[in-house]
């Protein structure tokens, strides 16, 4: 169905991003294939979030090109919600709207549809992310951390965008909730055929969910590939990341 | 890919064959709704409904749901429905959509409007009682903090107090002086204009002097401070509450009232009389300027008249009210700040409440003081 040049959902070429005299991303290149779940790891403050925010257009790059679904960024404008959905770390739900209204917000802003259909779609999305219809009239302040993330995911997916960005989706969740959330993302990715770009520190998510993992160090992607390959990487930072005491313990447990 | 979605309905006897074609996606939602409505009657008439999905080129949750709804509409009337020719890459989505919206919660009955109105009235009555309780609690907590500070003077947060004094006292002087100056000038102008008609211009000075010193000076300054500093207090304490800073203080065994609220309220109580004094002088000065340039009354006469018209009592009446007004503003601002809940909206609402409530209370208090001073003959 797709032409060969369309096999990449996101293409980043020679991206340079800096603030003042500090360069955060230094000639970074990264391709995200259609329909894969790509995990991005990197040191805290190492530019993971900057990369994500640059791709979605919140930060301007100094040089380099970024194409999302074959279009240079900036060309998406108002319809951005139909191109990608973003799950922010704290959910970023609109606190003055109910859960239902939060999910309906992208629908209302981008489409012309009847209130009845909008209500049904909102409930459908909420049920798809594992919430109940009874939760729809709550306000964000009344939700637990896990529920907030689920509502934010439902809102991100409201318009069935082809790409989903997740910023540390499992941070702040207990291991059971985090595991459930991972499973949810895998299911939704399969059902809706999403491309998922996930920034995470959660080694369990990286191992169980991600098709490929990219490691960001010194402003560049220093290693990319399935988790198995990354574990074999010789790059000192990648080795330190995956073979540190904590990681070793986790991997040992998982074996 | 970019052609319009279609829905071909082929009735054959009792059976209806529906064949959606093209992109059934959210982008075409208007067409989809029209299409599904147009076949509604056909669906109701048929006994067997078959949805042939083989012609669908793109499908998303919205499109899948519109089709699923058609199928449910038939199924709910006891007819048989069937999806055929679902492409592999759509089957997951179709299965998912078949699960959703099964348990619609019972719609909550709209309450009786009269009862709802009565309910609101009851709620606000209880709310008013709660407001009074919170005010008294804060007053008590402040009193205890003052007692604590008197027992251990070292526990007074001097740095914080001085900083708050600088913010709400020193930095407020220009705007307070400017506004009271203008008010004084306007009152004097009105006095000269209207009193001139019956030759009582000289009494303008009495009016300006008494009005400014007894009432307007302190009232205008208190309202300005409530709007300027009270709102700042509420917003500060509210965002500290949202970020759990106040909880952090409490868990360290420290009293947030002593650390955060006492310096703020104390700064207000100290600063408001000073600002009132400055404001009153500025208003009298404004009145004097108008007297010279509009009322043809030289400064010497103005001051002499003022000297005759006002006594220290007038000044005392005004300035005595200031610390009490400051206390009310401070308590309302701080307790509203502590009532902020998690959301940004609640911060805004509480800040508005704080300003409205403190201005209201300042005016009520002024009225009470007027009665009080009248009855003791001041």
pLDDT for residue A158 is more than 70 = yes
User: What's the structural domain count of chain A?
Assistant: 1
- The mean pLDDT value of chain A amounts to 79
pLDDT at A251: 62
Among the partner-chain residues B93, B99, B101, the one whose CB lies closest to the CB of A192 is B93
Q: Is the CB of A113 less than 8 angstroms away from the CB of B33? A: yes
HSE-up of A190 (CA within 13 Å, CB side)? 13
Q: Is the CB of A117 less than 8 angstroms away from the CB of B29? A: yes
Judge whether A128 lies within some domain. yes
Among the partner-chain residues B97, B103, B343, the one whose CB lies closest to the CB of A124 is B97
Alpha helices in A129-235 (DSSP H): 145-156, 175-192, 203-208, 227-232
pLDDT at A2: 43
Judge whether A122 lies within some domain. yes
Distance CA B335, CA B315 (A): 31
Least confident stretch, A7-11, A147-151, A251-255, B151-155: A251-255
Q: Which residue has the higher pLDDT, A64 or B274?
A: B274
pLDDT for residue A1 is more than 50 = no
In the structure, what pLDDT confidence band is assigned to residue A224 with cuts at 50, 70 and 90?
A: confident
Handedness of CA B33, B36, B37, B38 (dihedral sign): positive
Ramachandran area for residue A217 (φ above 0: left; ψ -120 to 50: alpha; else beta): beta
Judge whether A2 lies within some domain. no
What are the pLDDT digits (tens) for A22-37? Answer: 888 888 888 888 888 8
Handedness of CA A41, A44, A46, A47 (dihedral sign): positive
pLDDT at B107: 64
Distance CA B5, CA B356 (A): 56
Residue with tokens 């400014």: B212
Which residue from A75, A70, A47 is spatially nearest to A59, judged by alpha carbons?
Answer: A47
Q: Residue A157: its chain B contacts at CB < 8 A?
A: 61
Q: Is the CB of B343 less than 8 angstroms away from the CB of A96? A: yes
Q: Which residue has the higher pLDDT, B115 or A254?
A: B115
Size of interface A-B (CB pairs under 8 A): 75
A155 touches chain B (CB under 8 A): no
Q: What is the mean pLDDT of residues A93-111?
A: 82
Q: Residue B98: its chain A contacts at CB < 8 A?
A: none
Q: How many degrees, rounded to 5, is the angle at CA A252 between CA A249 and CA A254?
A: 110
> Domain range holding A122?
95-160
Mean pLDDT of successive 10-residue stretches along chain B, which has 378 residues: 73 78 80 80 77 80 81 77 78 77 68 88 92 92 92 88 94 96 95 91 91 93 95 94 86 86 94 96 95 91 92 92 96 93 84 95 95 90
Judge whether A106 lies within some domain. yes
Three-state SS at A55: helix
Q: Is the CB of B65 less than 8 angstroms away from the CB of A124? A: yes
Judge whether A168 lies within some domain. no
B119 touches chain A (CB under 8 A): no
pLDDT at A15: 83
pLDDT at A198: 87
Judge whether A120 lies within some domain. yes
Select the highest-mean-pLDDT range: A56-65, A165-174, A185-194, B240-249.
B240-249
- Contact map slice: B 27-46 vs A, CB within 8 A: 27, 29-30, 33
Judge whether A142 lies within some domain. yes
Q: Residue B93: its chain A contacts at CB < 8 A?
A: 191-192
pLDDT at B1: 46
- Whether residue B336 contacts residue B286, with contact meaning beta carbons closer than 8 Å, is answered with no
Q: Residue A191: its chain B contacts at CB < 8 A?
A: 92-93, 95-96
Residue from B69, B101, B102 whose CB has the most chain A CBs within 10 Å, to mutate: B101
pLDDT at A156: 85
In the structure, what pLDDT confidence band is assigned to residue A76 with cuts at 50, 70 and 90?
A: low
Distance CA A123, CA A136 (A): 7
Judge whether A113 lies within some domain. yes
User: Phi first, then psi: what are they for B297, rounded to 5°?
Assistant: -125, 115
């Amino acid at each position: 169905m797709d032409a060969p040049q369309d096999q990449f959902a996101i293409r980043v070429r020679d991206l340079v991003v800096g603030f003042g005299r500090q360069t955060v991303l230094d000639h970074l290149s990264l391709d995200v294939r259609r329909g894969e779940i790509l995990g991005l790891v990197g040191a805290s403050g190492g530019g993971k979030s900057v990369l994500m925010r640059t791709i979605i257009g919140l930060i301007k790059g100094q040089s380099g090109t970024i194409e999302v679904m074959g279009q240079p960024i900036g060309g998406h404008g108002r319809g951005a919600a139909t191109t990608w959905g973003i799950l922010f770390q704290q959910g970023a739900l609109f606190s003055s709207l109910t859960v239902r209204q939060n999910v309906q917000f992208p629908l209302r802003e981008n489409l012309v549809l009847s209130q009845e259909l909008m209500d049904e779609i909102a409930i459908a999305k909420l049920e798809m992310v594992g919430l109940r219809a009874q939760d729809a009239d709550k306000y964000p302040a009344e939700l637990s951390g896990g529920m907030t993330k689920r509502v934010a995911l439902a809102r991100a997916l409201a318009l069935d965008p082809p790409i989903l960005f997740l910023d540390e989706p499992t941070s702040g969740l207990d291991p059971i909730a985090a595991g459930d959330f991972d499973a949810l993302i895998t299911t939704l990715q399969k059902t809706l055929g999403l491309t998922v770009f996930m920034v995470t520190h959660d080694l369990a998510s990286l191992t169980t969910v991600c098709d490929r993992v990219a490691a960001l160090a010194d402003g560049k992607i220093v290693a990319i590939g399935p988790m198995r390959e990354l574990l074999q990487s010789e790059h000192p930072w990648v080795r330190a990341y995956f073979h540190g005491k904590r990681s070793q313990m986790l991997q040992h447990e998982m074996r | 890919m970019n052609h319009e979605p279609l829905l071909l309905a082929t009735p054959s006897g009792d059976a209806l064959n529906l064949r959606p074609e093209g992109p059934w996606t959210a982008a075409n939602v208007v067409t989809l709704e029209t299409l599904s409505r147009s076949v509604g009657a056909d669906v109701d008439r048929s006994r067997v409904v078959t949805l042939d999905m083989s012609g669908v080129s793109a499908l998303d949750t919205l499109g899948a749901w519109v089709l699923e709804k058609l199928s449910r509409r038939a199924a709910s009337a006891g007819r048989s429905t069937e999806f055929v020719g679902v492409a592999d890459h759509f089957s997951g989505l179709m299965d998912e959509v078949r699960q959703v919206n099964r348990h619609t919660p019972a719609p909550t009955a709209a309450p009786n409007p009269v009862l709802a109105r009565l309910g609101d009235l009851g709620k606000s009555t209880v709310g008013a009682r709660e407001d009074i309780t919170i005010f008294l609690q804060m007053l008590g907590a402040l009193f205890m903090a003052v007692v604590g500070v008197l027992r251990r003077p070292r526990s007074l947060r001097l740095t914080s107090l001085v900083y708050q004094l600088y913010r709400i006292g020193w930095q407020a002087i220009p705007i307070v002086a400017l506004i009271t100056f203008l008010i004084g000038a306007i009152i004097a102008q009105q006095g000269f204009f209207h009193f001139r008609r019956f030759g009582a211009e000289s009494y303008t000075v009495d009016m300006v002097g008494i009005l400014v010193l007894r009432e307007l000076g302190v009232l205008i300054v208190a309202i300005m401070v409530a709007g300027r500093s009270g709102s700042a207090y509420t917003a500060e304490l509210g965002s500290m509450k949202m970020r759990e800073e106040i909880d952090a203080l409490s868990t360290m065994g420290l009293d947030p009232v002593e650390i955060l609220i006492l310096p703020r309220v104390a700064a207000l109580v100290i600063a408001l009389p000073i600002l009132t004094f400055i404001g009153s002088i500025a208003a009298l000065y404004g009145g004097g300027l108008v007297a010279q340039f509009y009322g043809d009354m030289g400064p010497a006469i103005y001051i002499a008249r003022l000297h005759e018209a006002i006594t220290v009592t007038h000044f005392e009446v005004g300035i005595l009210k200031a610390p009490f007004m400051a206390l009310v503003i401070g308590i309302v601002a701080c307790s509203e700040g502590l009532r902020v809940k998690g959301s940004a909206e609640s911060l805004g609402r509480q800040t508005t409440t704080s300003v409205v409530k403190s201005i209201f209370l300042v005016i009520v208090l002024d009225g009470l003081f007027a009665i009080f001073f009248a009855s003791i003959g001041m």
